[in-house]
Amino acid sequence: GAGVSQSPSNKVTEKGKDVELRCDPISGHTALYWYRQSLGQGLEFLIYFQGNSAPDKSGLPSDRFSAERTGGSVSTLTIQRTQQEDSAVYLCASSYRGGPETQYFGPGTRLLVL
Amino acid sequence: GENVEQHPSTLSVQEGDSAVIKCTYSDSASNYFPWYKQELGKRPQLIIDIRSNVGEKKDQRIAVTLNKTAKHFSLHITETQPEDSAVYFCAASGRSGTYKYIFGTGTRLKVLA
């Protein structure tokens, strides 16, 4: 079946602009995660959605970052007033129940802020 | 706060030798420890995982060991092959049983032919 998909694959923007990154999880997966991967670094947790529960936003680095998950499926990560330090690969992952199980990653969106 | 340390950051081995990557975690509530492999330009993929009620798990050439007392876990790859070359990430589940994984900073493994 189809895996996790993300769009766009690459995004170049100017400092101060807003960007929206999209994630389509695997059908039937109730848990969805966003991570950020800076060059040569590990994966930094950003936000976690599980079913209809309130999202865990504890990893968002600033109030310029927000995310939504509509209808329990597609998620959008929004970065307002982008800064150069926001440049990174943004990875989305989904899992079946949000428990101790495999998280399936999407291909990522490579964001470059000029 | 929650933290996972991973060593070494880079590792070069000759084809056929073994490779060992070590991680330590800080949160004693962590109970699930996956390992991901990320090839250049590709997405991370799970290669093996271990739960806290198990000390060791093997899958062909790959094994993971867990020492809960010391809060250490390690990945062992035997008979390494060039296609094992990649970045490997360890992770630990977060506080209170949540599954927002805390990832290590990665180990770049090079298997020399």
B-facing residues of A in 66-105 (CB < 8 A) are 91, 95, 98-103, 105
Provide the pLDDT confidence category of residue A1 given band limits of 50, 70 and 90. low
Burial A40-74 (b: 16+ CB within 10 A, else e): eebbbbbbbbbeeeebbeebbeeeebebebeeebe
What would the pLDDT profile of A65-76 be if each residue is shown by its tens digit? 999 998 879 999
**pLDDT at A99 > cutoff 80:** no
Mean pLDDT of A36-59: 88
- Work out the mean pLDDT of chain A and round it to a whole number: 93
Taking an 8 Å cut-off on Cβ atoms, the answer to whether B99 and A31 are in contact is yes
CB of A102 closer than 8 Å to CB of A79: no
The alpha helices in B21-101, defined as continuous H runs, are none
Chain B partners within 8 Å of A35 (Cβ): 103
pLDDT digits (tens, 9 = 90+) for B40-72: 989 999 999 999 888 999 999 999 999 999 999
Q: Residue B1 has what pLDDT?
A: 61
pLDDT tens sequence across B81-101: 999 999 999 999 876 556 678
Of A45, A98, A101, the CB nearest to B102: A45
Please tell me the predicted confidence (pLDDT) of residue A71: 82
**A7-16 burial, b for 16+ CB within 10 Å, e for fewer?**
eeeebebeee
With cut-offs at 50, 70 and 90, classify the pLDDT of residue A113. Answer: very high
Q: For residue A32, list chain B residues with Cβ-Cβ distance below 8 A.
A: none
The pLDDT score that the predictor gives to residue A51 is 85
Name the average pLDDT for chain B: 92
